[in-house]
């Protein structure tokens, strides 16, 4: 049984536009559809999820500052911030909870600038290119991490 089971799922810039963004890359789900799916996966694993999305970098940072009080683990898809936001990296380090980085698309197979992630080495795993399923992988990885803790 996992006693620490609260997972915060954080989406960054432009992820509120899912459904409008290129479906060949991001699929046709809206963010609400995706969040419903993630909550279902979490339920199967005995995890409880809450969701946060913003297009403002400072809000993303401040949410990470509050994370320690409200979550046992975090799944984050910071969108384009992944590739350059040292502020988000620093805030994730301060949060000090187990983190998994997720990308819907296969960032390593796209433009060169998407291959860099400033948060990767702070995360226990990175999942990319598996669409919504990637969040199931991330939840399973966090469940393992919290079980061992």
Between CA 92 and CA 113 the distance in angstroms is 21
How many residues bind ligand DQA, per CB under 6 A? 10
Spatial distance between the Cα atoms of 88 and 80, rounded to a whole number of angstroms = 11
Residue of 11, 41, 63, 103 marked catalytic: 103
Say how far residue 27 (Cα) sits from the centre of its chain: 17
Q: Is 103 a catalytic residue?
A: yes
Is residue 103 within 8 A of residue 137, CB to CB? The reply is no
Give the per-residue contact string, 54-93, with ligand DQA (x = CB under 6 A; - = no).
-----------------------x-xx-x-----------
CA–CA gap between residue 89 and residue 139 (Å, rounded): 21
Selected range binding ligand DQA among 34-42, 50-58, 63-71, 102-110, rule: CB under 6 A: 102-110
What is the rounded distance in angstroms from the CA atom of residue 18 to the CA atom of residue 16? 6
What is the C-alpha to C-alpha distance for residues 29 and 19, in angstroms, rounded to an integer? 5
Among 63, 89, 103, 136, binds ligand DQA (CB under 6 A): 103
Among 105, 127, 139, 142, binds ligand DQA (CB under 6 A): 105
Closest CB to ligand DQA among 69 and 111? Answer: 111
For ligand DQA, the binding residues (CB under 6 A) are 14, 77, 79-80, 82, 103-105, 107, 114
Q: Active-site residues: which are they?
A: 26, 103
């Amino acid at each position: 049984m996992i006693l620490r089971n609260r997972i915060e799922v954080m989406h960054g810039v432009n992820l509120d536009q899912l459904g409008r963004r290129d479906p060949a890359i991001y699929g046709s789900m809206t963010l609400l559809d995706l969040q419903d799916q993630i909550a279902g996966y979490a339920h199967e694993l005995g995890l409880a999820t809450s969701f946060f999305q913003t297009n403002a970098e400072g809000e993303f940072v401040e949410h990470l500052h509050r994370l320690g009080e409200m979550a046992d683990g975090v799944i984050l898809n910071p969108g384009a911030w992944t590739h350059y936001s040292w502020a988000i990296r620093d805030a994730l380090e301060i949060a000090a909870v187990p983190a998994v980085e997720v990308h819907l698309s296969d960032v390593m197979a796209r433009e060169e600038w998407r291959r860099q992630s400033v948060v990767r080495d702070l995360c226990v795993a990175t999942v990319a290119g598996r669409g919504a399923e990637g969040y199931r992988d991330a939840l399973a990885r966090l469940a393992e991490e919290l079980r061992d803790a």
